[in-house]
Structure 1
Amino acid sequence: MQKKYDLIIVGGGVLGTFHAYHALELGLKVALIEKDLQPQSATVRNFGQVVPSGMNTKWQNYGRKSLSYYNRIQSQFDITVRNNGSIYFASNPEELQLLEELAQINKKNGYSSELLTKETCINNYPGLQSSYVLAGLYFPEELSVEPRTMIHRLLEYLQKEKGLDYIPSTTILHCTTLSHHVELQSASERAFYAEKVIICSGAEFKTLYPQIFQSSDLEVTKLQMLQTYPQSNYKLKGSILTGLSIRRYEAFKECISYNNIKAQEEPSSLAKKWGIHILFKQAMDGSIIIGDSHQYADASHMDNLGFDLHDEIENFMIEEAKKIFALPNYKIQNRWFGIYSQCKNQDVFEQTIDNNIHIVTGIGGKGMTGSAGYAKENIDKIYNQN
């Protein structure tokens, strides 16, 4: 028999990798198996914003715990974490009202935030259009990472410093419960053995347990994003979230005015049609990432989303972005889409098979922010640490 692990995790995205981190912290012998050479899906196709402020109170707590884990790891190994805060810009009185209400919720929750005047926002964020902004809500504790780099650095850290066995380019086709362990069979007919297995498969629903996923409430979301060329002599700090984000993010649903304000929105707008809200984040090379849009399909029909990038979406996002920031240039060097899975009626998809096989996926857009905190709770639950 090959080497036997305490835990094997299938899926090397941010959710699976933070499960590995917390299991290693318990002293367990852990392997992480990834179907590709390196993670290629939602974990690397996003903004790299770690923003608990955008989540409801439950998930904000997970996100705040995630901040501490990111900072702890960064103090030991560079995983590209930057402590540069995030800000929401209100463009009209309704959005300002929501910011003021969220500030009070955060005060009650003990989460640091600061309302900024229009003048302060303009002074602190070069190129911000005075015709757009009324005020801002700033979160000084929030982080950003480089999404195409962070997960690779985190995996490197876990291998070098924590003893993780990382097994890439390996597709697991079967998990079988035996008398005292679980056997995993790969497409290359290699066998792996563990006491427990956690499957963090993201939006990969066709290989392991397809019947479970097809009958679930899981859906997939396709997000379209852009990246400019590096901006000469221009610095934009932190994560920038704008009026359309205020109207989308879960945190604002806890505001007393939210439902009334949402009811007044124009239902036929392109923002509604494509689920667009405008975000900005400057990458370390000086380029600006702009996005994003949201298209949805049930897990069983995810292929219907296709692989095309829509000019209509791109053009709308650029025109809206120009209303918010006068960047030195809006010349686009990269365009891409990401796909993540989420649940329609619950926070995350969890199912246990034969006691020792745990499926955990469908964390949606909460992954980069919430995974580290949520994974700690889940590992503790699986290993009776509570």
Structure 2
Amino acid sequence: MNQSYDLIVVGGGVLGTFHAYHAVNAGLKVALIEKDMRPQGATVRNFGQVVPSGMNTKWQNFGRESLAIYKEIQEDFDITVRQEGSIYLASNEEEVQLLEELKSINETNGYTSKMLTKNQCLAKYASLREDYVKAGLFFPEEVKVEPRTMINKLQQYLQEKGLDLYMGETVMGCDALRSGVQLSTSKNRIFSTVKAIICNGSEFKYLYPNLFEESDLEVSKLQMMQTKVQPNYKLPSSILTGLSIRRYEAFSECPSYRSIKTKEDPQSFEKKWGIHILFKQALDGSIIIGDSHEYAPAGNIEKLGFDLNMDVDSFILKEAKKILNLPTYEIQNRWFGMYSQCKASDIYQRTIDEDIHIITGIGGKGMTGSAGFAKHNIKTIFNLEHA
């Protein structure tokens, strides 16, 4: 049976699902096809922090739209969104300077942030070590989610709004017709659609191998871990620390960023493995800690291997203990995530025969930026800017 749609989205991660969300909201007939029975990729293997504060100005705007979208959905349907804010903690005067400069940029951009003194940080975060913190920059609007639950709840919500969801089904063919697109799947189904959006790197690689080989996509492997449940302990917000200040794109727009970065040791362990220290409390009371970054070309992903580097985990835990005195640092889970990104651009976009749109390689911006970016992208693809 040939089933017909206005849009078929291939890939049920956060980027694909939010494209489906905005298309459904625009009144289009939409199907979402995901090769696994549940999403298994980058969307469910990250912290679940929605932090526009860490992005450059372009993506911060998308991220701020994402915040509004997450909160709007949460009012209607529980997708685990909690507005608890995010804080960046400076460990020395250089990092304090970067926080002050970022606050000034935020004021120009109209994004709310508040500088906290050392004593205010210590009062707000009871487990924060006095010998680490110098100051903090707090973003009250930012939220966190439980990634492995959120994406499934979001898709459930969309089904109630009319989305047709096909899980455990791989797209084997995607062909442009004289008018529209025809897709065939591993379950011997044929679909026709006006437009197709491919947000899954696996299908992109399989369906368009030449384009994939020509792309500048690379894959980043990130290591994270989860403590056991913290007894009688509450972390008031997500925490990002000095190494995050030195890594995140937002700070690269600060006037003193370049001169501060030139003083860093390029041979240090944290540089080699792209480490910065993050803390987020999960719904069950455990703490998620990470993370690291190891890179390989998308066409040679096997270079990254499937093992966890215990030296990296040990370093992360050692640094984490310098920042927070948690009741327990006993680890119950360790894992790695992988996401793709472009070397020369902020996202990979390629249109084939006008109606097939490959959109992938959003990098670490997916959980924060996808909702806002997809809103604008759907308007562009369907020419809805003035609708």
Inter-partner Cα distance in structure 1 for 2:211 and 2:379: 25
| 1:208 Cα offset (Å) | 2.1
TM-score (ref. length: structure 1): 0.98
Corresponding residue of 1:311: 310
Q: What is the alpha-carbon distance in structure 2 between the residues aligned to residue 313 and residue 143 of structure 1? A: 27
1:156 corresponds to: 156
Alignment match, 1:294: 293
Deviation at 1:205, TM superposition (A): 4.9
Shift of 1:237: 1.9
What secondary structure is seen at the aligned counterpart in 2 of 1:339?
A: strand
Q: Distance in 2 between matches of 1:119 and 1:258?
A: 25
- CA–CA distance in structure 1, aligned partners of residues 326 and 108 of structure 2: 36
Q: TM-score, normalised by structure 2?
A: 0.98
Partners of 1:202 and 1:340 within 8 A in 2: no
For 1:114, the equivalent position in structure 2 comes to 114
Q: Does the C-alpha gap of structure 1 residues 279 and 203 become closer, same or farther in structure 2, counting only changes over 3 Å?
A: farther
CA distance in 2, matches of 1:308, 1:181: 43
Check conservation: 1:49, 1:143, Cα contact below 8 A: yes
Q: Secondary structure of 1:75's match?
A: helix
Please give the alpha-carbon distance, in whole angstroms, between the structure 1 residues aligned to 2:291 and 2:207: 30
> In the alignment, which residue of structure 1 is the partner of 2:37?
37
Aligned to 2:59: 59
CA distance 1:82–1:110, shift in 2 (3 Å):
same
Task: Using the TM superposition, give the Cα deviation of residue 203 of structure 1 relative to its aligned residue in structure 2, in angstroms.
Answer: 6.0
| Paired amino acid for 2:7 | L
Indicate the SS of the match to 1:234: coil
- Are residue 261 (structure 1) and residue 260 (structure 2) matched? yes
Quote the Cα distance in structure 2 between the aligned partners of 1:314 and 1:3: 48
Identity of matched residues, %: 65
Partner deviation per Cα, 1:352-380 (whole Å, 9 max, x = no partner): 00110000001000000000000011000
The alignment partner of 1:98 has SS state of: helix
Distance 2:89 2:3 in 1: 53
Q: How many angstroms apart in 2 are the aligned matches of 1:51 and 1:94?
A: 22
Alignment correspondent of 2:23: 23
The answer to whether residue 268 in structure 2 is matched with residue 283 in structure 1 is no
What SS class does the counterpart of residue 207 from structure 1 fall into?
A: helix
Matched with 2:95 is 95
Cα displacement (A) at 1:187: 2.4
What is the CA-CA distance between 1:383 and the residue it aligns to?
A: 0.7
> What is the alpha-carbon distance in structure 2 between the residues aligned to residue 115 and residue 89 of structure 1?
10
Deviations 1:209-247 (A, max 9, x none): 122111111111000000000000000022110000000
**Structure 2 counterpart of 1:182, which letter?**
V
Q: Which moved more, 1:178-187 or 1:309-318?
A: 178-187
**Counterparts of 2:217 and 2:9, CA distance in 1:** 20
Write out aligned runs for 1:134-153 (5 A).
Answer: 134-153=134-153
Specify the code of the residue in structure 1 equivalent to 2:338: I
Alignment of 1:335-346 (within 5 A): 335-346=334-345
Match of 1:232 in 2: 231
Within 1, Cα distance between the matches of 2:17 and 2:293? Answer: 25
Equivalenced residues, count: 385
- Which ranges of structure 2 fall in alignment gaps of 5 or more residues? none
Equivalent residue, structure 1, for 2:180: 181
Unpaired runs of 5+ residues, structure 1, are none
User: Are the counterparts in 1 of residues 197 and 356 from structure 2 also a CA contact under 8 Å?
Assistant: yes
Q: What letter corresponds to residue 124 of structure 2 in structure 1?
A: N
CA RMSD of aligned residues (A): 0.9
Contact 1:9 1:33 in 2 (8 A): yes
Q: CA deviation at 1:204?
A: 5.7
